[in-house]
Amino acid sequence: MKNINKLKENDAQLALNQKWVSQLVSSQESRDKLIAQFGKNSEGSYNQIEFLDYMTELNDRFAEVNAPKIAVVNVEGRLLAVKVTK
């Protein structure tokens, strides 16, 4: 908690020292790394997709499909054999 007071001084350096981030880069360095990884688009930025456009491309996880389904249920704790009466 004593490091919280250092946030006012240099929050980026504190984040690096605390290992909350792996490195510090400028906006331009970040953009250059993203372009190197994903390519450059026609606007001169890195290739990207807007979140809402991405969401419309995903399959609906809850759509009904006429196929057998398997469920995995994780259980923790002791399992007891209990007789159920109606």
Could you read off the pLDDT of 33-80 as tens digits, one per residue?
999 999 999 999 999 999 999 999 888 877 777 777 788 888 888 877
Identity of the residue numbered 29: E
**Phi–psi pair at 40, nearest 5 degrees:** -105, 140
Look at residue 68 in the predicted model and tell me its pLDDT: 78
Q: Tell me: pLDDT of 4 over 70.
A: no
6 or 43, greater pLDDT: 43
**Which residues lie below 8 Å from residue 52, measured CB to CB, with a gap of 6+?**
none
29 with 36: CB under 8 angstroms? Answer: no
Q: Where are the domains of the chain?
A: 2-57
pTM: 0.51
Look at residue 31 in the predicted model and tell me its pLDDT: 93
pLDDT tens digits for range 7-38: 566 888 888 999 999 999 999 999 999 999 99
